[in-house]
Structure 1
Amino acid sequence: MSRTDPRGLLIVGASLAGLRTAEALRAQGFTGALTIVGDEPHRPYDRPPLSKQVLTSDGPPPGAELPLSGDLEARWLLGGPAVRLDEGTRTVTLSDGTHLPFDGLLIATGSTARGWPADRPAPPRGVFTLRGRDDALALRAELVPGRRLVVVGAGFLGGEIAAAARGRGLDVTLVEAGAQPLQRAIGAEGGAFMAALHREAGIDLRTGTTVTDFRSSADGRITGLRLSDGTELPADSAVLALGAVPGTGWLTGSGLAIEGGVRCDPYLRALRTDGTVVPGVVAAGDVAKVPQPLADGTALALGHWTNAVEQSATAAHTLLNPAAPQPYTGVPSFWSDLHGVKVRSVGLPAAADEARVVEYDLEARRLDIAYHRAGRLVGALTIGRTNRLAAYRNTLATVGGVAAGRRLTNTRTGGVLLRRGRL
């Protein structure tokens, strides 16, 4: 591809991955036409603050806008989503009928909040999801001290919303289908630690149960929820934090492999349903389903901020150098801040078949867990031990490295098993 191709490059998705890839394209020497399409009317903004600073702030909400480079020289088409990709004519169609031809395309349409199942009656007014800026502002208006909020789903987003609401003085109930919060993501030990933090903060955590239906007033406003264990919870409002769905609906019929995200090769090139590469089309961010060496090459779509940032350089290089692409080799990572602690992780804890607890000290709010798969380190999680992450990351970057962890004798503190050791 010429770096000054007259048709230019098209980025569909005006969020973090799209913006960072646009910047990387310019930094890598592309001087041609660059068009960025976004379904929201807003310029790119950061999503992590939405469930933290935006919900907890008083007065005007803090800005979450991402800074824009003055020399980006892009055409912005905002407020109208893409609805179709035609690989044969190499065009993308927008909801208003606009056809955008391209020579190179980045798919960065992220994900949307998973809503209430379509085969059940629709939730009443006062039931929210949180994905975008407008969602956060609407939810913040509901967080009035003394009101009752039920958060459905105790993953990272649900936990952050519950923590923010509790910090604002609400009566918060957190409902989780699993035995512990985040158990599939960080295991039973990490999940138990998170559960203890929530309960210590005064959140009513209900595990092993789900919401079956809602109760509402005559005017259609939520008044409560019914759980699968028979419990009824009063509520002034509720939030569904049931996970995310990759933004691939507009790619239906395109010929791309889009189950659970846009299936990519290690160079972030989009693949067809037959496994062949689509020339000049790449994906990055939440929507990209990329082979993960730490999971033995299984393709995964990871909705992490760092993933969106770090994939941008690879996506740009692949678009500009189709004959000499370079694989994406970033180590996944994520973070969360809730109840006054910093939760940090590297690698893929969810891919592990064994969790080795290095430190578990609830009283001091310190946690260190190393995750292994077939004896090889594949991830780590820390709370209050951020300085240990660099060593874990260095080991994970080698892919084949094995952590030299060791288990020590257990001591008992306050009814919680406390394992102490070091890597």
Structure 2
Amino acid sequence: MEETPVEEGDTNKDVEVAPALIALHPTENSVAVAVGSDLRVFDLVGNCAVFLVDESGVPYHKDSIRTICYGSKGQLFVSAGDDKTVKIWSTESWRCIYNVVSEKRVSAAAISSNGLHVCFADKFGVIWVVDLDGGVDGNQPLVSKKAMSLLSHYCSIITSLKFSLDGRFLVSADRDFKIRVTTFPTKPVNEAHEIQSFCLGHTDFVSCIAFISNLECSHGFLISGSGDSTVRLWDILCGSLLDTCDIGDKVELLDSKEREGCHSAVTSLCTIADGALVAVAVQSLHGIILLNCDLSNHTLSVVKVVSISEETFIPTSLSTSCSTGYLWMVTGVSSLHNLGHSSLARVKVMSGFNKDNYTANDVSVVEDDAIPGETKLLEKLQGGVTFDDKVFLAAAEAVKTAMSNLLTKKQYSMEKRDFRKRTRNDRKLKQ
């Protein structure tokens, strides 16, 4: 993707939006959706909406949530974003048990495999670690914690953060096409980290990463999606690229006009059926792409494009669990100009995934009245508000523009660089 110059002072506040996010409990006990500053959780076991308990005295979040995730054991849940606040919740009581203030806006978060640490990244490229004092008590009073800096990507926005399956490595991806693999210390506050490898090969921002489990490889294999319209498979121990699947070339998703506009970026991905299948969400695609991951031969290949009948549904986030064959999807955006409402979300579910069925012929979209939780779940996660198709199409376009503005590096002439330096906000404050 070519970098395009931007005129000085060129900003567009109307497109500074955050996409809707979805996260599923590891054993599908609950599902959470974040859209704007709203955090909505539904208890799938009790078939009821969850009431969040936050004793901080302020709304759960005061600005757009940019990252949500469950821990691998399902006991912890983290939400964070543009309000520079990281909230750590107990999924047993859905009480906020730790509150962490960040120096910068938060762009990604991850929970260690043993549940003893939470890491988060800010938009300045710094990764911070929070020590949870040896465990979790869902009934403990709210505790304010201070994060310690762990490592840095040096002024590059970190887009995704994941722990390896065995907890040995912390993997971070950024907008400068890099994926960094770092050994995670046993005591990260007191011990130094080491760089294990760099996974280099993407030609545009890395938007999302995930791990694929393998019995012969305890840490798992890494897959990554990018603005260069590819999904790649990596060996993180040495940083070697095992295979590349070009989404744009192998599947006719977009017309030539949209290709030229670089709107075929991978926005979200997750593994299904023990990693045999990978679901991929792409900008402008009304559905998902299913990839077959053959770890024995280290290959990725397109299996099927699963379309959604509603042309206004373009997934912004995907999530699944190891306990069922459901794939959960959400589309939406934090806010739109002249919309008059800050919450816009639509949830859908796909079923029929089977690790032994690589043709994925049985995959289909579940009707609203047949998904777990049915109407009560949709009312909770979608906010009980309905919008017409034009609004969701506008939301998809807004997400495209916002993602491009945030993650595509801009190039300036020397004259414009000098102008930007002279008019920097920190310079103005000092004067």
TM-score normalised by length of structure 1: 0.26
Return the structure number with greater helix share. Answer: 1
Return the structure number with greater strand share. Answer: 2
